Amino acid sequence: MLTVTEAQDRASDLVQSAKQAGADAADVIYSGGLSTEVQVRLGELEDVQRSEGEDIGLRFFVGQRSASVSSSDLSADAMAVLVERAAAMAREAPEDAYAGLAPEDRLFRGTLPDLDIHDDYEAEPETLRAQALEAEDAARAVDGVTNSEGGGTSTGRSIMALATSHGFCGGYRASSFGCSASVIAGEGSGMQRDYAYRTARHFADLDSPASIGQRAGERTVARLNPAKLESGAMPVVFDPRVSGGLLGHLIGAITGSAITRGTSFLRDSLEDQIFADGIMVRDDPLRRRGLRSRPFDGEGLPVAERAIIDNGVLTGWLMDSASARQLGLEPTGHAKRGIGGPPSAGTTNLHLDAGTISRDDLIADIRQGVLVTELIGMGVNPVTGDYSRGASGYLIENGAIGAPVAEITIAGNLKDMFRELVPADDLEFIRGVNAPTVRIEGMTVAGA
């Protein structure tokens, strides 16, 4: 795998080759990574995987025509073929009035910020194996656990570089470390499974394997002997394990591509109050050690923290350059991209601000409701906002969390759900998308 400097040089050289081959404009993205994963089960080593790879992608413009081509072979001969193929494809591609690089006057200039997203610590396979065993042992030690799907640990490093023909060249490196455990409780048809995991940029920021395993075991045992639930309208409380998914539906509805296609249930809601007053949803690409932090976006534009929802109001769309041109607006620094295609818009470290009341107080007045800890299926209509998901979790009765429930369905409309959403104060920054416990009134719940 290349260093950051080598990756930038390789990307810049390929841009120059594209220009020499007749490109009016071009950009190149390099992605390299290596990872090690260790899996154990029932106290024995089950699998060790190590992978290393690198890819490079070229976007070649001829006027308003463009083509994207990628390769995992970075040899000089392969790069020559890549440029030749991209040039031929671009000349035959249909014209796109909105295609092109980001505006030159908006490109990132200066020194990249230090986001502290790379840890030099080298976790040896033996260390990873010991941690995986510790996590699984702690999970299996919980009374009621009867079997195991295993414990796992991982470590990875990545390099990303981007170069454009109109003056941007940048790159950065990142690391990741993970630990997980998944176990089974009960016997026969009454068996239940659950899990726990943590991921961090720095090894020292991981929870201890024993605490991760213990959480997995306790969660699994707590799901045994699910109760029946009568169907009806009631408050639904989303645990932080799943509440971030609601933000995902919000973001999918406010990207520029969804707005230009007219396929968003929020397409007519710009600058409208769609959440209650005081609700804040923020995207922060510059959070130190953030799991999705980055110093620039997928088109070479600067990034900054942004309140996507400000006191309940939708502040604007998330746009890459192409969708911004189509809407007659400016790109917002939210472009993301893979190796083999054009940019699209998305978020980085997304979160819903914490509320002012505790989780206990949030549910204290609920006579009958549901705490959801797991969601199943993808029953969300992005055009209408209709929402219907399989779920499991726990009954809430007279302000207290009670028996587990499984195989239920929760339904509503996202517009109504957003207006009714009330957050608790238990926000933690432990995922790429973070939200506290949230309560939503009046959802339809159907029991098994």
Mean pLDDT by 10 residues, the chain (448 residues): 95 97 97 97 96 96 96 96 97 95 96 96 93 98 97 97 97 98 93 96 97 98 93 96 97 96 96 97 98 98 98 98 96 94 95 97 97 93 96 96 95 97 97 97 90
Between the CA of residue 34 and those of 47, 48, 50, 106, what are the distances in Å?
17, 14, 7, 33
* CA quadruple 270, 274, 280, 283: dihedral, nearest 10: -50
CATH tag, 4-221 = 3.30.2290.10
pLDDT for residue 189: 83
Beta bridge partners of 255: 318
* 196 closest CA partner among 177, 183, 185: 183
CA distance 313 to 405: 35
pLDDT for residue 341: 85
pLDDT for residue 38: 97
Q: Which residues of 67-84 are buried (b: 16+ CB within 10 A; e: fewer)?
A: bbbbbeebeeeebeebbe
* 374 closest CA partner among 245, 256, 269: 245
* CA quadruple 241, 257, 313, 249: dihedral, nearest 10: -20
pLDDT for residue 21: 97
pLDDT for residue 448: 65
| Residue 445 in tokens | 């719940």
Looking up tokens 């799907």 gives 149
H or E element, residue 89: helix 76-92
Looking up tokens 């390769």 gives 71
Cβ atoms within 10 Å, residue 407: 13
Range(s) within the chain of domains with CATH label 3.30.2290.10: 4-221
* 274 closest CA partner among 315, 313, 246, 318: 313
pLDDT for residue 277: 96
Per-residue HEC secondary structure of 129-184 comes to HHHHHHHHHHHHCCCCEEEEEEEEEEEEEEEEEEEECCCCEEEEEEEEEEEEEEEE
CA distance 322 to 335: 10
pTM above 0.85, yes or no: yes
CA distance 441 to 448: 21
